[in-house]
Structure 1
Amino acid sequence: MKKLLAAVFTLTLFISCSSSDKDAPVSPPKDYSAENDKEITDYLTKNNLTATKSTTGLYYIINEPGTGAQPNASSKVTVAYKGYFTNGSVFDQSSASGVTFPLSEVIKGWTEGIPYFKEGGSGVLLIPAHLGYGSYANAKIPAGSVLIFDVKLLKVN
C-alpha cells in the first residue's frame, strides 16, 4: 500500500510540475514593419501610385479630399469601402451605402487614416500589419498582412 501511495504521489507531483501548452511562455508578436514597408512601396511602384507616408507607417492617397465635416479619432463615421491585399484579392467590402462605426473601435490604420478625409472624400489607405491585425490572423486575413482599403467617407455622424 505504501508503494502504491508513493507511486500515486510521485505521479501527481510529476504531472503538476510538468509544463503544458497553457504554461508555455508566449512568444512576442513578430514585427512585420520592414517587410510590410517594402511590400507597400513595391505595390505603389508596380501600380504607378504616389502615396504619403505618416510617421506611424500608414500610407494614404487622397483622390478627393471632400468638402464636408472632417472627423477625428473619436468620431462616428459612415464609410463605403473595399478591402484587399497587395495581390488584389478582396477580403471585405461594404455596400455603396456604407457602414457606420466609431473610429475608436476599428483598427489603428482606420482610426488614423479616415480623418485625412472630409465628408465626400475618397482615397486609399495602405495599412501595415502593426496598424491592422499585427501578428494575429483574423478570419480571412493572415497574420502580418498589409491591408489596402479604397475608402469613401460618406458622413461624419
Structure 2
Amino acid sequence: MRMRHYFGLLSLLAVTFFAACNKNDKPAQPFDPAKQAETDEQLIREYIAKNNITGTVKDATSALHYKVLAPGIGGDTMKLNDRMNVSYKGTLLNGTVFDEGDKTRLSEARLDQLIEGWKIGLRKITKEGKIQLFVPSALGYKNSATGKIPANSVLIFEVTLHNYYY
C-alpha cells in the first residue's frame, strides 16, 4: 500500500513537472527602453488629444510633457536640494488615482528625492505655481510596479507648489 502511494505521488510530480515545461511557452521579452519611450509618447499624445488639453509643452531635454496652469510668483525656481510644500494628485491614464496629498505631505522631502518627472517639472514654476505633468514611465517608476502603479505606467500629476525652502 505504501509503495503504491509513493509511486502515485512520484507520477503526479512527474506530470506536473513536464506540464510546466511546455515547449510552446515563449521566454519573456527583454525590456526595451526605446520601444517603451515610443509607446509612452504615443499614449501621452493620445491622452492630451482625447481630453482636449491645450497649451501643453514638451520639455526640450526630456520626454516630459507639461502644462503650466499658474506660473507662480517671484522669479526663482526650486533647486534640487530644496524642500517643498505641495498639494498634488497623481493618476494613471485610465483615471485611477494612485496618490494625493495636501501641502504638508511632502514638507520634508527634497526635490532630488522624487521621481525625475517632478525634478524637471517643478522647476518650470515658482512659489504658488501650479502645473500639470504628463510623466512617461522612464521619468517615473520605469519598468517596476510600485503600490497601485503598474510597471511602465505613464503618470499624470497636478501639482501646486505652495512654497519651497532650503
Contact 2:85 2:103 in 1 (8 A): no
Please give the per-residue CA displacement for 1:47-97, whole angstroms capped at 9, x wherever unaligned: 111310012100110010000442122321111100001111100000254
Moved more, 81-90 or 95-104: 95-104
Relative contact order, CA 8 A, sep 6+: which one is greater? 1
Alignment partner for residue 43 of structure 1, among 38, 47, 58? 47
Distance in 2, matches of 1:90 and 1:71, equals 26
Q: TM-score, normalised by structure 1?
A: 0.78
4+ runs deviating over 3 angstroms: 27-30
Q: Could you tell me the TM-score, scaled by structure 2's length?
A: 0.74
The residue aligned with 1:83 is: 90
Residue of structure 1 equivalent to 2:63: 57
Q: Which runs of 5+ in 1 are unaligned?
A: 1-26
Structure 1 counterpart of 2:152, from 140, 144, 149: 144
What is the number of residues matched between the two proteins?
A: 131
Gaps of 5+ in 2: 1-28
Contact kept, 8 Å, 2:88 with 2:160, in 1: the verdict is yes
**Conserved 8 A contact 2:89-2:97:** yes
Q: Structure 2 matches for 1:44-123, cutoff 5 A? A: 44-50=48-54, 51-54=56-59, 55-68=61-74, 69-100=76-107, 101-123=109-131
Deviation at 1:115, TM superposition (A): 0.8
Q: Calculate percent identity across the aligned residue pairs.
A: 35
- Equivalents in 2 of 1:73, 1:96: separation in Å? 18
Query: 1:102–1:29: structure 2 CA closer, same or farther, 3 Å change rule?
Result: farther
Whole-angstrom distance in 2 between the partners of 1:126 and 1:46: 14
CA RMSD of aligned residues (A): 1.5
